[in-house]
Structure 1
């Protein structure tokens, strides 16, 4: 059974996303909405990590060795300035998209396993990730004209 691999992927994706949200908050503290919302979204990701922990413990005993190159690193650090903010939001969007599709895969696994508890956690966290994606998309739309047109 390979569900433990995807639980591990999700655990690491959420932890990395939380860290990236914090880095972007620190780098763009002058943008009040970015500072406060990325801090809030980082806390959501931390909660996702906590909610996954019991399932990782439950399914890890049945996991074969982890394949090489299972994890992906998508964030290399925050940038400065208007274009930097846009690029940072873009990176966060890609990371959140990665988390989102991994939630979808885990939801399918939970259905196949008939694990109602895992399905409930996936549904709740997937909804929050969708909201994160919507905010990131909206904030990028807001930042793009200034960053790309006005130099």
Structure 2
């Protein structure tokens, strides 16, 4: 059988290994706690980021909707502006046409007035170029 010295030596070896295993186990427990804490922090951060991402997506959808509505409004206003411009141009065309017609009538009246006192003379022979038929005596 083993002697008492060998038994004591074996016992001290086992106690030394037990201390090292206990120390190693404590270190592993600390690492596990730290990792668990870090994992929880990462999960919490991921949840926060997920909420922020969803909020951003909602805001983007809202902005797209607002942009679409604004675009429709601008198109509608553009069409209204074009209609107003066309209407105004049509009215100006009518006014200008009326002014042209009035000016033509005035020109005709002025020509008539200018010729009002003219006399037409028939029967004067104007075949002789030496004779002045336009002179009056």
Query: Per the shorter chain, which TM-score range?
Result: under 0.3
TM normalised by structure 2 equals 0.25
Larger radius of gyration: 2
TM normalised by structure 1 equals 0.23
